[in-house]
Amino acid sequence: MQNLFVNGCSFNGPRKKWGKHVNTYVGKQIADHYKIQEHRFARGGRGNRRICDTTKLFFESNPARKLDTLAMIQWTSPGRRDYPTNDDYKKIDGYSTTWRTWSTHEQIKFISSLEGFDIERDHSLMQLNDIIDLQNYFNVHGIKYVMYFGLVSQIDLTQQDHKILHNAIDWNKFYQPDTSHYEFCEKNNLQISPQDEHPSAEGHRKWAEGLIKYIDEVV
């Protein structure tokens, strides 16, 4: 393992807001620990579609990286719906597609106008399919990977169809699948402040410590 590829949202990047500065994050902690190069494609406020698409773009543009890179995927909210833009928003150097995002909670009036639309089931299926999508891509190309939930999982196991897809996921490659980095920080008072629920520096370090032990065991 010579490289670490990191994708996710603002839970995998530095944070500067309301006078608070957190200059570390989980991906940096992992790369520093193993003394390897980090390739960070995580972008604040973006969703899981962008994570899937940009991850594939990275590895297809750098085929040699498929053999010497650990992919670390931090899943975000399935309510975030990404779309390509023509304005170079949060551009990743070397790639032509840029992304913005709309959120389902911002479009309740429209969603409510759609007959029978079940937003909870939609979120659950979106999350399950995104996970399976990247899992299958990694397996086909022999790419080593780990995943975890950055924000609270919205998988609904009361639905039989959702259970079927849930069982198709390799949970051995998932760190702490029954919780999320957000919930971990909330429970242990490791958020930046009452106004900013992102992880504090210690919140990133503590989550990374457990993730490193997990990587040593499963990768």
Domains delineated in the chain: 3-218 (3.40.50)
Q: Give the pLDDT of residue 219.
A: 87
Q: Which two tokens stand for residue 162?
A: 């959702």
End-to-end CA distance of the chain: 10
Contact assessment for residue 67 and residue 141, using Cβ atoms and an 8 Å cutoff: no
110 strand-pairing partners: none
Q: Give the pLDDT of residue 58.
A: 98
Per-residue pLDDT tens over the stretch 29-77: 999 999 999 999 999 999 999 999 999 999 999 999 999 999 999 999 9
Amino acid at 149: F
pLDDT average, residue stretch 122-138: 98
pLDDT band at 27 (very low <50, low <70, confident <90, very high): very high
pLDDT average, residue stretch 191-207: 95
Which residue reads 């499963």 in tokens?
218
What mean pLDDT, rounded, does the chain reach?
Answer: 96
Per-residue pLDDT tens over the stretch 167-189: 999 999 999 999 999 999 999 99
Q: Give the pLDDT of residue 21.
A: 83
Residue 167's nearest CA partner among 154, 180, 157 is 157
pLDDT band at 18 (very low <50, low <70, confident <90, very high): low
Q: Give the pLDDT of residue 19.
A: 62
